[in-house]
Chains A and B, each alone.
Chain A
Amino acid sequence: MLKDKKFTLITGRTIKQGMASVSGKKNKNYKNETAYVQLSSSIMEEYDIHEGEKVILKSDSGSAEVECRSADLSEKIVFMAYGPTANKLIGTDTGGTGMPNSKSKIVIIEKKEGSNH
């Protein structure tokens, strides 16, 4: 079952996210630069997801609707620029360190209902 396939969500910095974050956190550009997910092209093919299509990412802490972009990534991970959208998925378990699982959260991908690209 495709929906049972699990990925490690890696959140991190991108140059555009950095540029947007210092150009006004309430600007639309900041939201756009932190609300997409990068997937390997083989995963996009396997899930029949097209560039720019929106999907739902789900973790045991929450879910987020994000736009898909293909990238040179392993099939085990998905990448999001860190920000408010990724933080809907991360959860608050810090394992007694203060640090949430910002690069180790397990997520699944669900296609949006009625999505035909």
Chain B
Amino acid sequence: MSEVKKYENITCTFCGALCDNIEVEVESNQIKKIKNACAISRKKYMHALQDRTIPMLNGKECDYDEAISRAADILKNSKNPLIYGLSSTTAEAQKTAVKIAELSGANIDSTSSVCHGPGTMAKQLVGMVTATLGEIKNRSDLMIFWGANPVEAHPNHSKRYTMLSEGLFKKNRSDREVIVFDVRKTPTAKMADQFFEVEPGKDFELLMALRMLVNGKEPELNNNQIAGIDIEDLKVIAEKLKNAKYGSIFYGMGLTMTGAKYMNTWAAMSLIRDLNDFGRFVMMPMRGHGNVAGSEITMAWQTGYPFAVNFSRAYPRYNPGEYTAVDLLANREVDAAFIIASDPAANLPHQAAAYLDEIPTIVLDPHWNLTTDKAEVVIPSALKGITASGTVYRMDHVPLHLRSFLEDEWPDDAEALVKIGELIEND
């Protein structure tokens, strides 16, 4: 009879909350039981060993080394390749991907450019006052969720770090006031003490009006409303913000994807800066993919820039809107693509993703997805946090080490990338 092994404190890599309290029971290299996982995480572990990729070249199975070698050839012979994805792989793999970008004169961009990238651009303009999730859990008496819906996107976030968590000084839900700003009444809004429905595309105006009120000024009004919210309500909110001992704003793509994009987050970060004249106030993006925060950290550590980096002149240049994946693909400026742990065919605008059909595309991913259908080369890889170890960064930039607890027949992303880099470098 095969042995049942139990593992505790396993880290789920689905979202940026990186819950590190997962317990699994393993028998015969299969996951038999899972504890503490959210609904999405449970599905992720149950599906982990299914739908696994194999090495493929032009739709036909090939040797692993043959796929690696062809990937290196494509990157070597390309004049302006794109390396994209990176948010669901380890910092070790991300670092090596940057090296490959430098060796091949590539553009390198992460999925951050289509999620919290605009917020990062705002950080470069004004800075962001932030904290660890532990500090917020222990101390924050006013929590605001703005254009974010963690109940559906980060299901255990509220239990582990915010509304429902048991902190050192803030023990439970009744110790915290929760306000949600959103264009729709999400499941997160239903958990709040107050929900304010924002007129679509008016976040910037609303945030700037709050800044004025916090600073003792009256905004000019046409109909006693700003962004669909009554001015008298806004005055009450402004007072609450000023009176909070430790306020926190968690923001989602309701700020980064709407009209003003990075200027929305600039306005929110500026409001937070103003509020620190009254009490402590911090802010944090609700990072989606498990290591998308790490993609920005690693890229900044390696190149000086967080995403949208171009190496065509052998030194890094940064320009969102030019070296970002959607723009490069839509403008047909790249002649090859290397997709690492991502599925742009599902997640990028149709016209941008469709261009992948016209250029040699390499996909490094443990599972089949919509982009593997477009790939000339498919390279399988081990499963981060299940059959592969490595480093990932939580949404508050706390690094966590992933342990592997199952065996795999394929090397991990970092090893595949090291091999490709060596083939390019030794040519």
Interface positions of A (Cβ within 8 A of B): 8, 10-15, 18-19, 21-26, 34, 61-62, 71-74, 76-77, 79, 82-84, 87-88, 90-92, 94-104
A79 partner residues in chain B, CB cutoff 8 A: 184
* Cα distance, A12 to B369, chains bound together (Å): 20
B291 at the interface (CB under 8 A from A): no
- Decide: B40 and A10 in contact? CB cutoff 8 A: no
19 extra interchain contacts, Cβ-Cβ under 8 A, other than A71-B184, A87-B353? Answer: A8-B183, A18-B152, A23-B47, A24-B368, A77-B184, A84-B345, A84-B346, A87-B348, A88-B350, A92-B349, A94-B327, A95-B261, A96-B320, A97-B117, A98-B114, A98-B117, A98-B324, A100-B349, A104-B259
Contact B43 A90 (CB under 8 A): no
From B47, B254, B324, give the contact of A94 (CB < 8 A): B324
* Shortest Cβ distance from residue A7 to the other chain B in the assembled complex, whole angstroms: 9
Chain B interface residue count, Cβ-Cβ cutoff 8 angstroms: 62
Contact of B200 among A8, A23, A62, A84 (CB under 8 A): A8
Chain A residue contacts of B369, Cβ below 8 A:
25-26
A24 touching B349 in the complex, CB below 8 Å, given contacts A10-B183, A98-B326:
no
Q: How far is the CB of B313 from chain A (nearest CB, A)?
A: 20
16 contacts between A and B (CB under 8 A): A13-B152, A15-B151, A15-B155, A18-B40, A18-B152, A24-B368, A72-B184, A76-B199, A79-B184, A88-B350, A90-B350, A94-B324, A94-B327, A97-B324, A98-B325, A100-B257
Contact partners of B248 in chain A: CB under 8 A: none
B258 at the A/B interface (Cβ < 8 Å)?
yes
- Over the window 355-368 of chain B, the binary record of Cβ atoms lying under 8 Å from chain A Cβ atoms (1 yes, 0 no) is 00000000000011
Give the residues in chain B near A22, CB-CB below 8 Å: 14, 40, 43-44, 47
* Given known A-B contacts A74-B197, A92-B326, A99-B113, A87 and B257 have beta carbons under 8 A apart: no
Q: Are A94 and B368 in contact (CB under 8 A)?
A: no
The chain B residue with its CB closest to the CB of A101 is B257
Q: Which 3 A-B pairs have the closest CB atoms?
A: A98-B324, A96-B321, A92-B330
| B128 within 8 Å of A (CB atoms) | no
